Structure 1
Amino acid sequence: MSDEKDAAAEAPKSNKMLMMIVALAMVLLGGGGVGAFFMLRGDSASAAEEKPVKGAVVAIENPLTVNLAEGHYLKFGFALQMTEKAGEEEVDTNEALNLAIEQYTGRTVAELSTQAGRDKIKADLLEKIEKAYEKDDEQMVMDLYYTSFVTQ
């Protein structure tokens, strides 16, 4: 009979201990989740702060004509969206023109006839231009706009 009383007395102690362990685990996991939320939110807030501010738009005066594959050609014009940090000084666009010629020469009309194809090639060109016009680790060009785009 005394064995039954001991077993009955130990059962509530083990239940209390189990509940304490579960509660502690929930507090730790919840705290970790809240901490991760604020850390990730802080990263997105700092990324939004780093987004460059639009400055002047530098238009390329004359459209380019480049040879495409299979005897076709592309005539297109574009403009550079500068950042505010680039200032108002005149921009030498010769390097951008050279990069554009290299990017589009030899492409197929099929690549350029779809929106996805144009967007991919444009994104690659923008990346090259951004690197070329970077000054003291500061981004000077932030976008590229087509002003004309004709394939033949």
Structure 2
Amino acid sequence: MPIEQRVISGGKIGAKNAQQGPGLKAAEEPPAKSGGKRVKLLVIGAVLLVVLGVGAAYLGGVFDRGAAAEPTAPPAPTPGEVLAVDPVSLNLAGGHYLRIGLGLQLTSDVQEAPDPSKAVDAAIKLFSGRTMEEVSDPATRDALTAELAVQLVEVYEGEVMDVYLTNYVTQ
């Protein structure tokens, strides 16, 4: 029967032997890490964060690229005189009539009273042909007056800032 040779050590299985026997080679230890990989990763991470931060700031508008500032709304005009427009009679649907008088709120910049015929023309176009129920309803009347005011601001190019109904009679 062949003789088996066994080596018995006092340590745990898989542990490094503190004592080297005559036939055992010393286990080679892996070279100590100098931390080179860790430093490279930290540097790459820092550079990446800086690049992302600058990119986000640039796209977010933090840096002034010489772009013009957003336009601000012009200041609201200050009210001046109210120009009274003589009442006119308009034809409504169904043979009815509307007598309407206007007051044009001028801006304080106006030196000479504008021609009221533009306001009368706009009122005729807006109110004529409507039904008696439409012009009698307070909500519809307010909506029509607001629409007329918008049209007059455009027609008079800043000379008129609002309109008032001074006479409003239906028949």
TM-score where L is the length of structure 2: 0.59
Pair 1:145-2:168 in alignment: no
Of 94, 101, 106, 2:117 maps to 94
In terms of Rg, which structure is larger? 2
1:57-96 correspondence runs (5 A): 57-60=82-85, 62-87=86-111, 89-96=112-119
- The 10-residue stretch of structure 1 (69-78 or 96-105) with the greater mean CA deviation from structure 2: 69-78
- Is residue 2:44 matched to residue 1:17? yes
Q: Distance in 2 between matches of 1:86 and 1:14?
A: 72
**Rounded Cα–Cα distance in structure 2 between residues aligned with 1:121 and 1:147:** 15
Query: Structure 1 pair 118/25, CA: closer, same or farther in 2 (3 Å)?
Result: farther
SS of residue in 2 equivalent to 1:86: coil
Change (3 A) 1:70 1:27: farther
Structure 2 letter corresponding to 1:82: L
SS in 2 for 1:142: strand
Answer 1 or 2: which has greater helix percent.
1
What is the match of residue 22 of structure 2? none
How far the C-alpha of 1:76 sits from its partner, in A, is 2.6
Q: Which consecutive segments of 4 or more residues in structure 1 shift more than 6 A?
A: none
2:79 matched to 1:54? yes
Q: Which runs of 5+ in 1 are unaligned?
A: none
TM-score with structure 1 setting the length: 0.65
The one-letter code of the counterpart of 1:140 is E
1:108 equivalent in structure 2? 131
**1:69-98 deviations in Å (ceiling 9; x for gaps):** 2344333322111122221x2333122112
For residue 67 of structure 1, what is the amino acid of its counterpart? N
Letter in 2 for 1:146: L
Shift of the 20–104 alpha-carbon distance from structure 1 to 2, 3 Å rule, reads same
CA RMSD of aligned residues (A): 3.3
Report the counterpart of residue 145 of structure 2 in structure 1: 122
Q: Distance in 2 between matches of 1:146 and 1:77?
A: 6
Match of 2:12 in 1: none
Distance 2:120 2:101 in 1: 10
Give how far 1:144 is off.
1.3
Aligned residues: 138
Identify which of structures 1 and 2 has the higher relative contact order when contacts are C-alpha pairs closer than 8 Å and 6+ apart.
Answer: 1
* AA in 2 matched with 1:143: D
Q: Residues of 1 paired with 2:146 and 2:63: CA distance?
A: 36
